[in-house]
Structure 1
Amino acid sequence: MKWTFLLIMICSSSSLYAQEMTELSIIKQQVKSKRISSYDRSGDNHDNLQHIKHGEKRVIFDVKGTGIIQHIWITMGPEPAILSRNDIIIRMYWDGQAYPSVESPIGPFFGQGWNESYLFTSAPLAATPTDGMGLVSYFAMPFEKGGRIEIENQSGREINTLYFYVDYVEMKQLPLHAGRFHAWYNKQLTGPVDSVENEHWMFGPGKPNKTGKDNYLIADIKGKGHFVGVNYYVHSPTPYWYGEGDDMIFVDDNVLNGTGTEDYFNTSWGAPQAPYATPYFGYARVNNDIGFLGRTHLYRFNIADPIYFDSLFRFTIEHGSMNVLTLDLASVAYWYQDKASPVPAIPDAAARKPQPMIGPSEIHRWRNEWRKSKGNNPTLWGN
């Protein structure tokens, strides 16, 4: 079965590659390559925007007419330990609309969770050397009546330097049925629905979840389009495995029921011990702690297998089997719609703040409290 799956993946990737190569060979008519970048207009080498204060917004791309953004590259200073990428917001507006169709912290959008900095490689998005500070997108982003990209600084300190490229093509008209690119960030500190973290029926029978009522929300979309992927950031305060949480995807009048977090993200039997990357799925960050304690970043892009919807798409996932675990969850969902539509407001800076790490010292303190509750008997072991 393992080799069958690998063969399917290779054949699927090869087929898409062949289509891309065929498309690449076609000489386009009435198409002009264009670029907006932060280059120094004086001809000197100060190729960046500078001194973006807390609370300030800067427009880095504002083009009228018809075109498709093909590539974005952004980097900024100072480094993430000083300037939180979790608190720099990127928004994108299409066709002259006053509302954004893309709204997300810039780090999570490009595959960097919790204001951490690490390498991330996928087909549409990447965070490149050094240490994941080069933020890259190859998502196609069409617009018919103009496109605008805005950066807002909510970090509490100044952005010293912001470098960027936005490469796009200008054309007379878009390809037939070209959709508009959308992305939305969400974050939630989940809790067990009945206050008991009853994973793997450790404390008795579970309470079946058939409706998805208390699931974590990855996307909630009204309209017509197709879903193309998600970056999913999980911080677990327990060493117990969170991956039994099932995906439940509501598509029009149908439900796509999955068998677990690990299964939706094309993994198996728990989280890997080291990061790995494929073009469409992988673990960009794994915890290096006890069991599944700590932070993991999973991604899956539905490039070969978009999920199509005509009127409704709601992507939910359980936090632990039957929603029994406390988890600090965040995600960025990506999709196309037949027209530019607004996305919900994203959590504010206070709500986006990552939960603190839990490690051996905290566990030892909890053990000490347990021993005290048992009279500090010297023979107490802990089982």
Structure 2
Amino acid sequence: MPGPLDHLPLLRPGVRTKRVSSYDRTGGNNDFVPIEAGETRSLAQIAGAGAVKHIWITINCDDPMIKRNAILRMYWDGEASPSVECPLGDFFGQGWAERYLYASLPLAAAPAGGNALNCYFPMPFGDGARIEIENQSELPIKNFYYYIDYEEHTGGVGPEVGRFHAWWNRQMPGPESRSGDRENEWETLGVQPINPSDANNHVFVHAEGAGHYVGVNYYVDSPTPLWYGEGDDMFLIDGEPWPGSLHGTGTEDYFNSSWCPKEPYAHPYFGYARVNGETGFFGRTHCYRFHLEDPIYFEKSLRASIEHGHANTLTLDLATVAYWYQSEPHLPFPAILPKEKRQPMPRILPPDIHRWRDSWRREMGGGPLWGNEPLPDSTKIE
């Protein structure tokens, strides 16, 4: 099997390396472009055939949510519907518009403090490429610095080469109906229901055409201290019925870890770039998994999803960015959520937990209750 550097000595006639960047055209040092509030700016408009090989971006904006409020779009071969549509931060591995270090093989958020956004996914095109940013913030991006390094291919791009796609999906599902509207995990409230379906799962890929899926960034914000990750991953290929060709055993298992982890870990193909660090599993966790050695192939369609808790019994704030290659035309993405519905949920704070305790005391009759008294049998799910 060839090694990862074996291609370096190969000569490639007909390939020319080029770059589009924000350098100061006057020869000065103002090597950035401003992007006004509400403005859509074209970063690159490339003719002919080639491939984007690397993107680097860093920005300066007074809006703390700018990485959710700026939308990245990419178009190949003159298409009208973007093949990439995603909040800027989520695409590069920065959830909730936060800043933190992130290291994987295709994506990275580098020093200082995660402000340097990098992408190494190859992005081929046969007849032109367009990359743009829309600033949906009410504030300007004062400094937008970028490189887009690409190749020109004078010999064209063959029909066997898929086009790069990335789709962001954010949902906040609640307990599914068969759970009796109870957030029952680890059988805390009784016997848990079964889930012989993917109907109520969080979907991170819905593609039509021929291609292969290569990975996902998974951002979960949990409002419960119970483990969020009993959800199974499910891949239904070419219209097959449940349980599909690939059916998982738990969220952390899909992300190549085990036993409810909450520690940072960085592998080139998988890891935990951000963990909650709070009581139990309250709060925000960012996991990633890239199928660079084991792509998931499909010829007609792919529906990839994951449960939110076992049998979809938990309320979670889930946002995912899936990455895949496929033939065109692709299935157009649903309209991206408006800015107001892309904002993170507020954090759970000690006063919130105290109010829950007060509700528990009242439900249990009041008095000096500790808060972990057993539930009456009538409240359990059977």
Calculate the TM-score normalised by the size of structure 1.
0.92
Match of 1:129 in 2: 111
Q: Distance in 2 between matches of 1:24 and 1:350?
A: 46
The one of 206, 212, 217 equivalent to 2:192 is: 206
Structure 2 residue 150 is the aligned partner of structure 1 residue 168: yes
Q: CA deviation at 1:340?
A: 4.9
Q: Distance in 2 between matches of 1:262 and 1:132?
A: 24
Q: Distance in 1 between matches of 2:57 and 2:23?
A: 12
Match of 2:168 in 1: 185
Match of 1:151 in 2: 133
Structure 2 residue 274 is the aligned partner of structure 1 residue 311: no
Q: Percent identity?
A: 51
Match of 1:6 in 2: none
Q: Distance in 2 between matches of 1:290 and 1:167?
A: 43
Give 3-state SS (helix, strand or coil) of 1:126's partner: strand
Structure 2 residue 213 is the aligned partner of structure 1 residue 227: yes
Give unmatched runs, 5+ long, in structure 1.
Answer: 1-14
The number of equivalent residue pairs is 364
Match of 2:230 in 1: 244
Match of 1:41 in 2: 25
Give 3-state SS (helix, strand or coil) of 2:4's partner: helix
Q: CA deviation at 1:122?
A: 0.2
User: 1:77–1:83: 8 Å Cα contact kept in structure 2?
Assistant: no
Q: Distance in 1 between matches of 2:223 and 2:345?
A: 9
User: 1:184–1:344: 8 Å Cα contact kept in structure 2?
Assistant: no
Corresponding letter in the other structure for 2:258: S
Give 3-state SS (helix, strand or coil) of 2:5's partner: helix
Structure 2 residue 252 is the aligned partner of structure 1 residue 262: yes
User: 1:95–1:340: 8 Å Cα contact kept in structure 2?
Assistant: no
Corresponding letter in the other structure for 2:228: Y
Structure 2 residue 93 is the aligned partner of structure 1 residue 107: no
Match of 1:88 in 2: 70
Corresponding letter in the other structure for 2:264: P
Calculate the TM-score normalised by the size of structure 2.
0.92
Q: Distance in 2 between matches of 1:327 and 1:368?
A: 23
Q: CA deviation at 1:171?
A: 1.1
Give unmatched runs, 5+ long, in structure 2.
Answer: 374-382
Q: Distance in 1 between matches of 2:25 and 2:254?
A: 47
Q: Distance in 2 between matches of 1:154 and 1:218?
A: 23
Give 3-state SS (helix, strand or coil) of 1:343's partner: coil
Post-superposition CA distance 1:151-176 (Å, at most 9, x none): 00112211111000000010121256
Structure 2 residue 31 is the aligned partner of structure 1 residue 62: no
Q: Distance in 2 between matches of 1:379 and 1:207?
A: 30
Match of 1:283 in 2: 272
Give 3-state SS (helix, strand or coil) of 1:65's partner: coil
| TM-aligned CA distance change 1:44 to 1:83, over 3 Å | farther
Q: CA deviation at 1:233?
A: 0.3
Match of 1:8 in 2: none
Alignment of 1:345-364 (within 5 A): 345-364=335-354
Corresponding letter in the other structure for 1:308: Y
Post-superposition CA distance 1:171-191 (Å, at most 9, x none): 121256111000000000010
Q: Distance in 2 between matches of 1:257 and 1:111?
A: 25
Corresponding letter in the other structure for 1:197: E
Q: CA deviation at 1:360?
A: 2.5
Flag as ranges the 4+ runs of structure 1 deviating above 4 A: none
Q: Distance in 1 between matches of 2:66 and 2:110?
A: 17
User: 2:209–2:329: 8 Å Cα contact kept in structure 1?
Assistant: no
Q: Distance in 2 between matches of 1:96 and 1:178?
A: 16
Q: Distance in 2 between matches of 1:49 and 1:262?
A: 41
Corresponding letter in the other structure for 1:49: V
Q: Distance in 2 between matches of 1:276 and 1:220?
A: 29
